[in-house]
Structure 1
């Protein structure tokens, strides 16, 4: 490492997550935090009140014997208490472990044991999950989070305490100490990988810098209203809770919701004036469908809907733009990258002469790197490919919030290359700097020696007005090695045929590339974080 002349600045002043909340409480104490309770009702508080509760929480954690370096698991939805834990646990130098409640039971047991979690905080609605877990893991105890009096909650969990009872016993002031910024603040475990989930531990420093990068990229400030819709139990909700607090923006927490009450989320976006929200296309699509049913579409001009997990279809982006004025911004990243490393909001000035169709096509890409994140394209031999928009290879990433190893894993080499994290995504970097994924290494279809992009084919199919969703997989073929098969979900009340799908595909794909089969289904399988579960589709096909 090269070293120059020492600076005279405050380089020894650690970057701590607690300072974000303290700033919001000190400077914007009355800014609202709107949150949905367990019973579905909405409630309101503010930053000053939240800081007092986090201070009580810090005392409570001390009373439980949670020391610096300890791991505290959380089983919860996007509730206010979850947000308090986001700041309270790291504030005492402990690690907040995100427990993805949609993991398979065996994987959830592995995560608790591998991380050596000491206490687990659990929402009352998730007690069945916790109780199934309890006799398989060795933890010191459980803290139940509920809106009811503790006397009204029945559970078989051993050594149980209750969140509100713990906080009620504690003072509202806490002497928060500076924490070594390289200490872990959060821990999450990857999903959708082969083998057991892999642990990613996020430091105070990395999350602080990611927060600043996110605020700058999306221009979030105290006049904004942020709704973290992506689950707070996975990939730190893409850093949106921290960014909202760091910018002292109004926050709207949607709590627990299902497809049946997606209307309540859509209504909250409108009623509370949400200007920034995150989610997968699988979430934004039903919100758009709900808005289509309203007598008058709301004006969401200026609203930034950051869409990740999978590439948002043009029909989704254009639908929100034309109907409401909202801007769907494709964001790209992974658990290993905190996660956002690119975003696609505005068209660069030098590309202003592109046609409207070309601009929309550009918006399909993963966009431009956030300052601090570096991306490159790797060829199979380990060489870096040129940024010419043509040289296809694996996307590799490095930066101050990108992991350099997995937690307590003997063999890390497979997913890293000379300090870069190997994403497993295939793509190109254009001369203009835009990143464009063409597929996952495991999803790209090789037919007769030629490559077919499943992502491009899915987006083309979803361009048909009758189609809601689509997934394309490669299936074994004795002659061509692999052939594409398309699974298609029609919009409500519509019928889609193979000819309908071929009609839109012929505009962009050669005849030999067209899928051999088009299978109409009511819904597509998804992973715990909303991604298309192509692994399951391929497994079902092989059966």
Structure 2
């Protein structure tokens, strides 16, 4: 057999530094606007951002940071954080973004597990640094993202970011790196057990940036101004800092003020055309706009992810404010983008309600991601929109294994020390339960640990939550499984009323009638003042399940004798005959 014929193209590595170099050279006058921790609005350009990123690279090298070592951040969305994204990775070190909303014990565990050498932090987290410093002995230094005038008064010795940069001239050439070198490190939220680290490469980060900017993804261009509400400490702000550098997009950063009024005013002042964030943030923004009687003048679209977007929220954005909602799904292990709800030409010609039925799902994959659903026997299930299965994915920005999962140090190609791979036949099991319809649209019905198994069949807690929050008197709702002596599990709705709403248990239960199969109908409703959330804004169902572990459903009281009239309609029927 003859040798393969090789192409004759330049072998230019895909590196994160090439993104900022492109933005500075070809979109150098485009603005990056930040609401600073200091309280004012800061403006500069992509060209100035690259110069300061180079100064940061020089400063870290002067401090002795070597390629491959980790430099962490505890910071909001701001221009200095953007500089860290590129300055740390540009010379071969790894930028490790940490979620400051985690418990201090979790953060300390993450810092130690990552073996971070330096930690860059916004001054709002100064008290947290004093807590962490004594628990993280291997950190060589803590760097406050400020100038000397704003240096925090701490027990811990800290350096000032601006002082370090001022000592450097920015005359630095980005080194050529192997595109398979590590670039960024993100940890999962750790809702069960310790968080796990996803270690991205330069190649995966650049490919992900390309995908995020695609028309069927976030549709970013040099004509846009985007305000990412999703934090830069949450899976690299869904890749937006990288994608905006690639596209030459104006970047507007909100800092720590994420209330509805602050976001609306910044969007209007900077003529923002696109945004991205989790449903809980948009709930606050929509509430402010409704109460204030204001409208958007430039916002065209927003990406909603992190948890399922309630259909009522999608309709409010589109019907009341003319803003396109792009429903997205992904995870830390996927860098994070997987699917987005964009219609193709044929789908866009369908009647309004048919289009909305698709857009309420998590969408279809973008190039670079493949997916399938499998049954308990591991066999792939059909894309019929009915079959539920465990969701598996693969692609060039999906992890191969977790970082130092076995507790040992990384060591190049030594797979034994890199930890065992979680892949199944080359696919990553996401832990989600989903359907895929004939259009290729994904519908996440639950996390595998949250799905309700009643009488041997699955009930989607997410679908029931979406119905609950569509009620005009409900602000937020969670659906969890409660133990049932006959059906094993039945659904309980835990809901938060809107201020002043007088909705009752029976009224909310009646609201479900006709919207789902009878055996899906919740058995009970209980109202609470607030629901627990994870550090990334997701409903913390594990805590809810613990809180309501001993809750007795009305239908469970009949198990000793007479069945209740409102028991599930799938009783005593073969599976094929159940509604």
- Equivalent in the alignment of 1:340: 337
- Equivalent in the alignment of 2:573: none
- Scaled by the length of structure 1, what TM-score is found? 0.95
- Equivalent in the alignment of 1:224: 224
Cα deviation digits, residues 360-400 of structure 1 (max 9, x gap) = 12111111101111011111112222222222211101001
Runs of 4+ displaced beyond 6 Å: none
- Equivalent in the alignment of 1:471: 478
Note the C-alpha offset of 1:414: 7.9
- Scaled by the length of structure 2, what TM-score is found? 0.89
Find the aligned partners of 1:537 and 1:130 in 2 and give their Cα distance.
30
Cα deviation digits, residues 231-253 of structure 1 (max 9, x gap) = 11121111011111111110100
* Superposition CA RMSD, Å: 1.7
The aligned length equals 534
- Equivalent in the alignment of 2:102: 103
- Equivalent in the alignment of 2:309: 312
Find the aligned partners of 2:491 and 2:79 in 1 and give their Cα distance.
45
1:421-460 mapped onto 2 (5 Å cutoff): 421-460=428-467
Distance 1:493 1:460, change over 3 A: same
- Contact 2:218/2:303 (CA < 8 Å) preserved in 1? no
Note the C-alpha offset of 1:327: 1.0
Distance 1:296 1:198, change over 3 A: closer
Compare CA radii of gyration and give the structure with the larger one: 2
What SS does structure 1 have at the residue aligned with 2:172? coil
What SS does structure 1 have at the residue aligned with 2:292? coil
Find the aligned partners of 2:520 and 2:387 in 1 and give their Cα distance.
21
- Equivalent in the alignment of 2:346: 350
Distance 1:59 1:398, change over 3 A: same
- Contact 2:452/2:491 (CA < 8 Å) preserved in 1? yes
Distance 1:472 1:417, change over 3 A: same
Structure 2 residues not aligned, in runs of 5+: 407-417, 551-579
- Equivalent in the alignment of 2:84: 85
Q: Is 1:62 paired with 2:87?
A: no
Distance 1:318 1:13, change over 3 A: same
Note the C-alpha offset of 1:507: 2.0
- Equivalent in the alignment of 1:251: 251
- Contact 1:496/1:520 (CA < 8 Å) preserved in 2? no
Q: Is 1:275 paired with 2:282?
A: no
Find the aligned partners of 2:220 and 2:51 in 1 and give their Cα distance.
25
- Equivalent in the alignment of 1:542: 549
Q: Is 1:385 paired with 2:384?
A: no
Note the C-alpha offset of 1:337: 0.1
1:316-331 mapped onto 2 (5 Å cutoff): 316-331=313-328
Q: Is 1:6 paired with 2:6?
A: yes
- Contact 2:400/2:423 (CA < 8 Å) preserved in 1? yes
Note the C-alpha offset of 1:4: 4.3
What SS does structure 2 have at the residue aligned with 1:417? coil
- Contact 2:260/2:286 (CA < 8 Å) preserved in 1? no
- Contact 1:300/1:324 (CA < 8 Å) preserved in 2? no
Deviates more, 1:531-540 or 1:494-503: 494-503
Which of 275, 291, 305 in structure 1 is aligned with 2:289? Answer: 291
Find the aligned partners of 2:232 and 2:30 in 1 and give their Cα distance.
21
Find the aligned partners of 1:111 and 1:239 in 2 and give their Cα distance.
21
Find the aligned partners of 1:384 and 1:448 in 2 and give their Cα distance.
24
Structure 1 residues not aligned, in runs of 5+: none
Distance 1:448 1:414, change over 3 A: farther
Deviates more, 1:268-277 or 1:67-76: 268-277
Find the aligned partners of 1:223 and 1:398 in 2 and give their Cα distance.
32
Q: Is 1:265 paired with 2:263?
A: yes
Distance 1:364 1:192, change over 3 A: farther
- Equivalent in the alignment of 2:487: 480
Which of 508, 512, 520 in structure 2 is aligned with 1:505? Answer: 512
What SS does structure 2 have at the residue aligned with 1:35? strand
